[in-house]
Amino acid sequence: MLTGVYASLFYVATALLVGGLGFRIWEYARTPAPLKIPIPPAPTTRRGVVLRILRELVLFAAVFKANKWIWLFGWVFHAALLVVLLRHLRYFTEPVWEWVVVVQPFGVYAGFAMVAGLLGLWARRLLVARIRYISAPSDHLMLVLLIAIAASGLLMKYVAPTDIVALKSFFLGLILFDWQPIPRDPVLLVHLGLVAALMIVFPFSKLLHAPGLFFSPTLNQVDNPRERRHLANWARELEIGRN
Amino acid sequence: MEQLEPPQTGTRELADPLEIPDLAPGCMSASKPYAAAAEFQEALGYPGELVENWHDVAIAKMGELRGKYRSFRVFLDSCVKCGACTDKCHYFLGTGDPKNMPVARQDLLRQVYRRHFTLAGKFVPWLVGAKDLTTEVIDDWYSYFHQCSQCRRCSVFCPIGIDTAEISMAGREIMDSIGKGQKYSNEIIGKVHKIGNNLGLPAKALKATLADLEEEVLEDTGVPVRFPVDEAGADILLVTPSADFFAEPHIAGLIGYAKVFHQAGARWTISSYASEAANFGLFIGSYENMREIALRIRKAAIDLGVKRIVFGECGHAWRVAYSFLNTLAGSFDFLDQNYPIPQHICEYTNDLIEGGKLKFDKAKNDHIRLTFHDSCNVARGSSMGKTPGGQFEIPRAILRASCSHFYDMAPDTIRESTFCCGGGGGLLTDDLIELRKKGAQPRMRALQQVAEDHGVTHMAAICAICKAQFSKVLPMYGFDMEAIVSVHQMVSNAIILDPIGDGAQTGEN
């Protein structure tokens, strides 16, 4: 019964995450950007645009320029999250990929770094008047959700370990449509429930900043308006009958 | 060359241009520009007064913009409320009103967008800060979307590149569509559609003004520098803000362009039909109005048979010219493809300087210790020359060529991080003077620093709005109103004129 609930939950969560995100990306892609609005430093080549987006994606360059604290907490959280996610690949692959094994030992420290980054961001959201002003309940809740996911994960690592072999066969079973029983540890069930919740809200929340970064016209446009005419389809229609 | 003695330094405590104020909620909620009368609204195709079903019309417009502009959709979806932009707006720094924090300004629109266009906003509005569109919300929009000069400083610091200008433009367009337009911008756009320039200066008056100017320069210099209007067969069409025909220090800049053209021996002309570089269609977020104004320039270029288009000193005009003209009114395959289309007067002048074609007597500017105010739309909405960052380097190169004493202001207040003058984006109107004064504060403080540290006496700009705004607010901060100069005014002061230009133009007529 419990296995069935969690199996269905993850199928639904995955479908919503992939489908929802796919739908958003499709929406963004088909919505025209009728004018050239890159912000400086604006690259003049496609290659330059790729480098610029990579710089924002990897280094958070704009935030670094804006505010060192936000940068520190934000960057540490995101980088740690990435390592933690990569580490978790071992529960979904058999045999475990070589490089995932290499990442493995860093993953544990990353868990702590992730919590530290999130707490820093939350502290700013609570303590800095400007940021408190712009925060809706959902902004706090999102941080609580992420902190709870990370904390429950660390709890399993250090305090209440679960049957990791059984857990892995549960997930491999999900992938192969050959369901295996899920371990009945409360901390694990909370951890997985929260992760599924995160997956479900992703396409309906501000987590859309992830695809947004790639579709932001101020970042992804080449600064060459004088060299190449840029025209949206709906704008082309205005030209019918023009000299 | 005699070195000027800088004024006393280091004795006064100077305010930090970037100082973050305490939050003062609602302190600017009463700042509202005059509403556009029915005649100005209707001339642009908008309802004359607030329509009865304004709520539904506004939401429908929002849906339309969401389909037409990726920026609108992505920017409203993607903000994580990280707070990086919160202390970046000059109007926030100058007023402390939290709704002038870029993200909070966006949220005025985002709250309604979420309510109507997102699942969470429809079902759990309280959770995500979603709100219905009420008259109070519209009042906030009218107030605070007219406290954004669309200078895009915030976007430089945003991890997702969210540009508040796109949001305030959309907000203004939605308000226009329900009959709640702003007098200043909409009246001016009407004048351009009807007469051809923001001032409403008819062709006859324009010609008379320029004829007077020609005489004046002849008297001053003894050189017949020409100011041609509507001369078919000229090579270059100069499109410049109409302020250049009208007030100081703008005119001094226009004289500078004319002297440069004279020295280059260029055959150039102004068009009385497209006698305006400014394009306020940008400010109200109206692609159609912006396009209609831009098409006047295309028509003038075709009618006069010119080969090149050069723009005078105007910030948002250069943004529209550089970034949008090809889109709005292109393609320009009938112009000479060997030159940038369009070209900025600074690019034109700088090319001549680099080619050794202009000579300067810098001593003529020795009474001036100069700094440069990067105009926001030039800095963050355009470029110049062939290398990225040319919009910063080229004007400075011109100033250094024409003046011996040049000092930049603090690095985080110039170039891509430059502060708006406080009067851009359709806010250069007397009904917003308090806002304009407060918004100028960061720039004024940066100027005070450089005046203290290097004895700077003057600040050059390449934007008609900046020049007009500074003429007004400089005295409020203890400076002389004439401390603001045109870049080409510096050129005009120092350029060494040959009695007759190299080209054929002087011999004609």
Residue B70 touches chain A, beta carbons under 8 Å? yes
pLDDT per residue as tens digits for the range A7-41: 999 999 999 999 999 999 999 999 999 999 999 99
Q: Using a CB-CB distance cutoff of 8 angstroms, which residues of chain A are in contact with residue B74? A: 28, 212, 215-217
| B74 with A28: Cβ contact below 8 A | yes
Rounded to 10 degrees, the C-alpha dihedral A115/A116/A119/A124 comes to -150
Alpha-helical (H) ranges within A159-232 are: 164-176, 186-201, 209-215, 217-220
Closest CA to A217 of A63, A3, A56, A35: A35
Query: For tokens 């604290």, what's the residue?
Result: A69
* Average pLDDT along chain A: 96
CB under 8 Å to B176, separation ≥6 — which residues?
B41, B44, B46, B186, B284, B286
Instruction: Give the closest-approach CA distance of A33 to chain B in angstroms.
Output: 5
Instruction: Give the closest-approach CA distance of A238 to chain B in angstroms.
Output: 9
CB B259 within 8 A of CB B491: yes
Q: What pLDDT does A242 receive? A: 78
State the best of B27, B81, B322 to mutate against chain A, taking most chain A CBs within 10 Å. Answer: B81
B 255-314 → A contacts, CB under 8 A: 287-288, 291, 295, 298-299, 302
Query: For tokens 């030159």, what's the residue?
Result: B339
Among residues of chain A, what percentage have pLDDT more than 70?
Answer: 100
CB under 8 Å to B376, separation ≥6 — which residues?
B149, B151, B152, B153, B315, B418, B419, B420, B421, B424
| B84 with A242: Cβ contact below 8 A | no
* Average pLDDT along chain B: 95
Give me A118's structure tokens. 């999130």
SS3 B336: coil
| B379 with A40: Cβ contact below 8 A | yes
pTM for the full predicted model: 0.94
Say if residue B7's pLDDT is above 70.
no
Q: Using a CB-CB distance cutoff of 8 angstroms, which residues of chain B are in contact with residue A43? A: 388
| A63 with B101: Cβ contact below 8 A | no
Domains of chain A and any CATH numbers: 2-223 (1.20.950.20)
Q: Using a CB-CB distance cutoff of 8 angstroms, which residues of chain B are in contact with residue A35? A: 287, 323-324, 327
Instruction: Give the closest-approach CA distance of A94 to chain B in angstroms.
Output: 36
pLDDT per residue as tens digits for the range B467-496: 999 999 999 999 999 999 999 999 999 999
Closest CA to B181 of B342, B337, B41, B57: B41
Per-residue confidence band for A108, with pLDDT thresholds at 50, 70 and 90: confident
Q: What pLDDT does A1 receive? A: 86
Per-residue confidence band for B506, with pLDDT thresholds at 50, 70 and 90: very low
| B70 with A44: Cβ contact below 8 A | no
Per-residue confidence band for B504, with pLDDT thresholds at 50, 70 and 90: very low
pLDDT, mean of residues B83-102: 98
Query: For tokens 């997702």, what's the residue?
Result: B160
Alpha-helical (H) ranges within chain A are: 2-30, 46-59, 61-66, 68-88, 98-127, 129-133, 137-158, 164-176, 186-201, 209-215, 217-220, 233-238
Instruction: Give the closest-approach CA distance of B94 to chain A in angstroms.
Output: 15
State the best of B70, B101, B110, B118 to mutate against chain A, taking most chain A CBs within 10 Å. Answer: B70
Instruction: Give the closest-approach CA distance of B233 to chain A in angstroms.
Output: 20
Say if residue B508's pLDDT is above 70.
no
Cis amide leading into A41 (omega within 30)? yes
List the single residue in B101, B324, B416 with the smallest CB-CB distance to A40.
B416
SS3 B269: strand
Q: Using a CB-CB distance cutoff of 8 angstroms, which residues of chain B are in contact with residue A128? A: 83
Question: Domain coordinates of chain B in residue numbers?
Answer: 38-181, 190-498
CB A185 within 8 A of CB A166: no
Say if residue B13's pLDDT is above 90.
no
The secondary structure of A82-102, three-state, reads HHHHHHHHHHCCCCCCHHHHH
Q: What pLDDT does B342 receive? A: 97
- Position with higher pLDDT, A107 vs B411: B411
Give me B357's structure tokens. 């074609």
Residue type, B435: L
| B86 with A134: Cβ contact below 8 A | yes
| A218 with B327: Cβ contact below 8 A | no
Instruction: Give the closest-approach CA distance of A116 to chain B in angstroms.
Output: 16
Q: Using a CB-CB distance cutoff of 8 angstroms, which residues of chain B are in contact with residue A225? A: 322-324, 326-327
The secondary structure of B471-501, three-state, reads HHHHHHHCCCHHHEEEHHHHHHHHECCCCCC
Instruction: Give the closest-approach CA distance of B348 to chain A in angstroms.
Output: 15
- With both helix axes pointing from N to C terminus, report the angle between A98-127 and A68-88 in degrees, rounded to the nearest 10: 150
Going by their DSSP bridges, the two strands B484-486 and B370-372 should be labelled as unpaired
Q: What pLDDT does A240 receive? A: 86
CB under 8 Å to B269, separation ≥6 — which residues?
B228, B229, B230, B231, B234, B236, B237, B238, B304, B306
B 369-408 → A contacts, CB under 8 A: 379-381, 383, 388-389, 391
Q: What pLDDT does B499 receive? A: 82
Say if residue B3's pLDDT is above 70.
no
| B127 with A137: Cβ contact below 8 A | yes
Residue B342 touches chain A, beta carbons under 8 Å? yes
Among residues of chain B, what percentage have pLDDT more than 70?
Answer: 96
pLDDT per residue as tens digits for the range A129-165: 999 999 999 999 999 999 999 999 999 999 999 999 9
| B68 with A67: Cβ contact below 8 A | no
Q: What pLDDT does A243 receive? A: 67
State the best of A128, A134, A142 to mutate against chain B, taking most chain B CBs within 10 Å. Answer: A134
pLDDT per residue as tens digits for the range B337-376: 999 999 999 999 999 999 999 999 999 999 999 999 999 9
- Report which secondary-structure segment, H or E, holds B236: strand B236-239
Say if residue A230's pLDDT is above 50.
yes
Q: What pLDDT does B87 receive? A: 97
CB B380 within 8 A of CB B153: yes
Q: Using a CB-CB distance cutoff of 8 angstroms, which residues of chain B are in contact with residue A47? A: none
Residue B80 touches chain A, beta carbons under 8 Å? yes
Residue B14 touches chain A, beta carbons under 8 Å? no
Residue B74 touches chain A, beta carbons under 8 Å? yes
Q: Using a CB-CB distance cutoff of 8 angstroms, which residues of chain A are in contact with residue B23? A: 129-130, 133
Q: How far, in Å, are A187, B141, B408, B469 from residue B369 at the CA level?
A: 69, 42, 11, 21
Residues B190, B193: Cα–Cα separation, whole Å: 5
Which residue on chain A is closest to B385 by alpha carbon? A226
Closest CA to B258 of B280, B286, B229: B229
List the single residue in B70, B295, B416 with the smallest CB-CB distance to A31.
B70
Per-residue confidence band for A219, with pLDDT thresholds at 50, 70 and 90: very high
Q: What pLDDT does B12 receive? A: 58
| B78 with A230: Cβ contact below 8 A | no
Report residue A13 CA to chain centroid gap.
15
CATH assignment of B38-181, given 3.40.50, 3.20.20, 1.10.10, 1.10.1060? 1.10.1060
Say if residue B2's pLDDT is above 80.
no
What is the dihedral sign for C-alpha B253, B257, B258, B259?
A: positive
CB B273 within 8 A of CB B192: no
Residue B187 touches chain A, beta carbons under 8 Å? no
B 121-180 → A contacts, CB under 8 A: 126-129, 152, 155-163, 166
List the single residue in A63, A138, A209 with the smallest CB-CB distance to B78.
A209
How many CA atoms lie less than 13 Å away from B316 in the CB half-sphere?
Answer: 27
Residues B459, B456: Cα–Cα separation, whole Å: 8
State the best of B27, B73, B77, B157 to mutate against chain A, taking most chain A CBs within 10 Å. Answer: B77
